[in-house]
Structure 1
Amino acid sequence: MISTVRELAAEALFVSCLQPSECPSRETVEDAITTMILRHGSDGCAAGVASEFGDHPDVAVRRMEWVRSELTEMLVPRVSVLH
């Protein structure tokens, strides 16, 4: 189940308009994922990924590497600082 959710999040982030050069915050990434899932659904996100890999495989690979990196960082628990 968790891998399915992670895959859906990856596909949703992949089809979003966010760019690595923007260095988006965690909240921005979460919002983009939610927006894309609500807009396109799981099938639509998967179709967008498939289309990009078919049309621009070299660019799609680099984008998916960025997506995976962003999601890995999101899985690291937030550290709260107590004063």
Structure 2
Amino acid sequence: MMTTTELAQVLFASALQPSDHLSPFQIREAVDERLCACGGDPARCAAYVAQEAGDHPDTYVARMRWALTAVAGAYTLAAA
């Protein structure tokens, strides 16, 4: 079982954008696809997130906040 933070890092590493207005299902699907692309290793996605934080600190915080909020909602609804 992955934590909310790990899920958010995977979503952050995806091509999805906060402006896409995604459903919880689409968010979970994107996380699954991106995790598969990272060989099932959330650490690979985390490495990408760290690189982006260093390369683009001006947009990192807003994107990570979106990713955390998106996965928290998407996975809470899935568990209900």
Which of the five TM-score ranges fits, normalised by the shorter chain?
0.7 to 0.9
Q: Say if 2:9 and 2:49, in contact at 8 Å, map to a contact too.
A: yes
For structure 2, list consecutive stretches of 5 or more residues without a partner in the other structure.
none
Structure 1: tracts of 5 or more residues without a match = 79-83
Compute the displacement of 1:75 (Å): 4.2
2:72 — aligned with what? 72
Q: Which residue of 1 aligns with 2:57?
A: 57
User: Aligned-pair distance for 1:60?
Assistant: 0.8
Q: Where in structure 1 do 4 or more consecutive aligned residues deviate above 4 Å?
A: none
Structure 1 vs Structure 2 CA RMSD: 1.6
Larger radius of gyration: 1
Higher relative contact order (CA 8 A, sep 6+): 2
Distance 1:32 1:75 in 2: 12
TM-score, reference length from structure 2: 0.83
**TM-score normalized with structure 1 length:** 0.80
Aligned to 1:17: 15
Report the equivalent of 1:30: 28
Q: Percent identity, aligned pairs only? A: 33
